[in-house]
Structure 1
Amino acid sequence: MSIRIVNAAEVRQLLPMDECVDAMEPAMVAASTGTIAIPPRLISPLIDETGFYALMPGSSAELGNYGAKVISLHPGNPAAGRPAIQGFVTLFDHVTGAPVAIVEGAEVTAIRTAAASGLATRLLAREDASSCGIFGTGVQAVTHIDAMCAVRQVSEIVVWGRDFDRAAAFAEEQAVRTGLPVRATQQAEEAGSCDLVCTVTGSPEPILKGEWVRDGAHVNLVGAHARTTREADSALIARGVLYVDLMESCRNEGGDFMIPLDEGVIAEEAIVGELGQLCCGEIPGRDNAGQVTIYNSLGMTAQDLFAARHVYDKARELDVGIEAQF
């Protein structure tokens, strides 16, 4: 028995953004149609409370694999020059039960999260969307720039971060990397008034106001992952046509939509449905140029498994990674 091991650099090589956006469509459809089983995730704090580890399993006969993402989070690591999040996605053969792959997890997560936003943008944004506002300066800001550029002809990128010097340095780096005009702003409203807006800050309080967002914009809300936190204010949610990755996750963890719902600002019917349902044509997408469409991303195991399977298939095809006897 052999198992293929793929490291972070190899994941970047094998999972370009445009291919990952395409891979997210069957992942989202599988989640919405129930052809992938997604048990509850296990999140366990360490005994000394210095961090936690998480296990996120899933099983898909259609994909031909089951497996899990296993990650650790040590908040103190960056101060020592180590990544805060580390881990891997493991794949097993659905028929034989043999373990077939271990794929570095942080890179898969970074790419697939942005790729899901890219899929939402491809389905919901206006075709002529060209300016992109990014709230945040971390890894997800980088991958979301790539995702937006993969699905629309982006001609300008505006970056806002709480630390302007860091945002300015980030913008300069991204301008060199992408060859596009990228600039930092101290006025969050500038980033919030672009055609495409992505919030990837992890802020517990709103950093994007509805009054800033132009008619016809598409917004990806990515950084808030608890029912009590949000990146957008209620005024924006009240304006928008709302989509989620999974309704169950949204009810449990989606503060961006659930807080306005609890406030009575929106009714549950304001949430049109899941991205997978949109892919299947079960629910409507944008129906006029002035609508503000909003995708709330919380992430799910289906995205990890479908992305990891794409990496695994290409790794075998191109003989990338280590083939270890197990």
Structure 2
Amino acid sequence: MRIIPGAELRSVLHYPMLVERMRQTFRAGVNAPPRHEHRVDTYGKSDASLLLTPVWQINQSIGLKIVTVFPDNGAQDLPAVQGVYLLMDGKTGVPQAIIDGPALTKRRTAAASALAASYLARPDSERLLVVGTGALAPELIEAHTATRRIKQVLVWGRHLDKAKKIVSRFHRPKFKIEATDDLEGAVRGAHIITCATPATDPIIRGAWLEPGQHLDLIGGSTPDAREADDECIRRARVFVDTREGACQEAGDIVQPLRDGVLTADDIAGDLFDLTRGERAGRRYYDQITVFKSVGTALEDLCAAQLAVEMVLHNDSIR
């Protein structure tokens, strides 16, 4: 059994390959039971959580994502969320690999963003705006620039110095990259806007959106958190990664549904529909599109499968 740390995962899991594998896996489908959640008593101020997410493809692979949430970890300068991914053979159940959970999650989340953009963004999109300066920001830049001809990237965050640190990670890129403190101006000038923030109140205004833009929403993963206002939803053709997940967990979908701004029928499709050709993505050049993701076990499984295949391939040629 292989142990695949984050650095090795990033070195083998290249975005063009991962996006195509994810496209194929959404077309094929997987078996994904509901996530198991357990409270774990602690001696700290807050109880912890244990989250278990199983998924499998018959006779191929079984995956189990194991995540812990310890809210008091900040006092020890540790992330609150920890985790690993266990991949097993689908025919025998033999464990194949233990993979760095946070690294896998970041990689597959950015790949899903790029996959959605392949259907929803204009083919000639050249200007990317990344909203947020967390761990996902560099992954989103890498995913989108690796899968389409992006010429300019802007990074916005509440603290300009953090945006500049993200920019400094990209040396001699094939695209121009800068930090900005003008969110409205950056939104108005972008072709693709991807948001990965901890915002609880909308920071993207529908009044700022221009015809033909694609808005990608990754934060706001709880029913009471949002990144985009109602006007964004009103003006756009709306897609999600999975209908069930987005309609139950994503504030950017849950709240408009609750308030009558959006109906279930207004959600044009999900990644299953798009990859299978069952629903059209962008229908005309000037259309505004929105994609809301909350993540799904399918994405974890296909990323883990590809990572193990690439690691074993590299081992065989050494």
- State the TM-score, normalizing by the size of structure 1: 0.90
Aligned partners of 1:130 and 1:153 also within 8 Å:
yes
- Residue of structure 1 in register with 2:242 after alignment: 246
The Cα shift of 1:117 comes to 0.4
- Structure 1 partner of 2:128: 132
Match status 1:114 vs 2:110: yes
In the alignment, is residue 39 of structure 1 matched against residue 30 of structure 2? no
> Which residue does 1:202 correspond to in 2?
198
Please give the secondary structure, in 2, of the residue aligned with 1:178.
coil
Residue segments in structure 2 that go unaligned for 5+ positions in a row: none
How far apart, in 1, do the equivalents of 2:17 and 2:306 lie?
A: 9
Query: How far 1:177 sits from its partner (Å)?
Result: 6.4
Aligned: 1:223 with 2:206:
no
Matched residues in 2 for 1:60 and 1:203: separation? Answer: 35
CA–CA separation in structure 1 for the residues paired with 2:135 and 2:220: 15
2-structure distance, mates of 1:79, 1:134: 30
RMSD: 1.8
The secondary structure found in structure 1 opposite 2:118 is: helix
2:23 paired with 1:29: no
Matches within 5 A, 1:1-326: 3-30=1-28, 35-48=29-42, 49=46, 51-61=48-58, 64-77=60-73, 80-171=76-167, 173-176=168-171, 178=173, 180-193=175-188, 194-319=190-315
Aligned partner letter, 2:67: I
| Structure with higher RCO (Cα < 8 A, 6+ apart) | 1
Counterpart AA for 1:293? T
Provide Cα deviations, 1:79-138, integer angstroms capped at 9, x if missing partner: 644344322111121121222221111111111100000001112111111111111011
CA distance in 2 between partners of 1:175 and 1:92 (Å): 35
Report if the CA contact (8 A) 2:37-2:52 is conserved. yes
Q: CA deviation at 1:175?
A: 4.2
Contact 1:174 1:182 in 2 (8 A): no
- In the alignment, the residues of structure 1 paired with residue 126 and residue 112 of structure 2 have an alpha-carbon distance, to the nearest angstrom, of 19
| Cα distance change, pair 9–174 in 1 and its aligned pair in 2 (3 A) | closer
One-letter amino acid matched to 1:44: H
User: What SS does the corresponding residue of 1:291 show, helix, strand or coil?
Assistant: coil
Check the 8 A contact 2:15/2:147 in 1, yes or no: no
Work out the percentage of aligned pairs sharing the same amino acid: 34
Residue 225 of structure 2 aligns to a residue whose secondary structure is coil
Q: 1:134–1:191: 8 Å Cα contact kept in structure 2?
A: no
Report the count of equivalent residues.
312
Superposed displacement of residue 156, structure 1:
1.2
TM-score (norm 2): 0.92
More off after superposition, 45-54 vs 234-243: 45-54
Give the conservation status (yes or no) of the 8 Å contact 2:68–2:83. Answer: yes
- Aligned residues of 1:118 and 1:150 also touching (Cα < 8 A): no
Change (3 A) 1:99 1:44: same
Per-residue CA deviations over 1:216-272 (Å, capped at 9, x if unaligned) read 011110011112211110000111111111111112102112211221122222101
Report the Cα offset of residue 196 of structure 1: 0.3
Q: CA deviation at 1:55?
A: 1.0
Larger CA deviation: 180-189 vs 244-253: 180-189
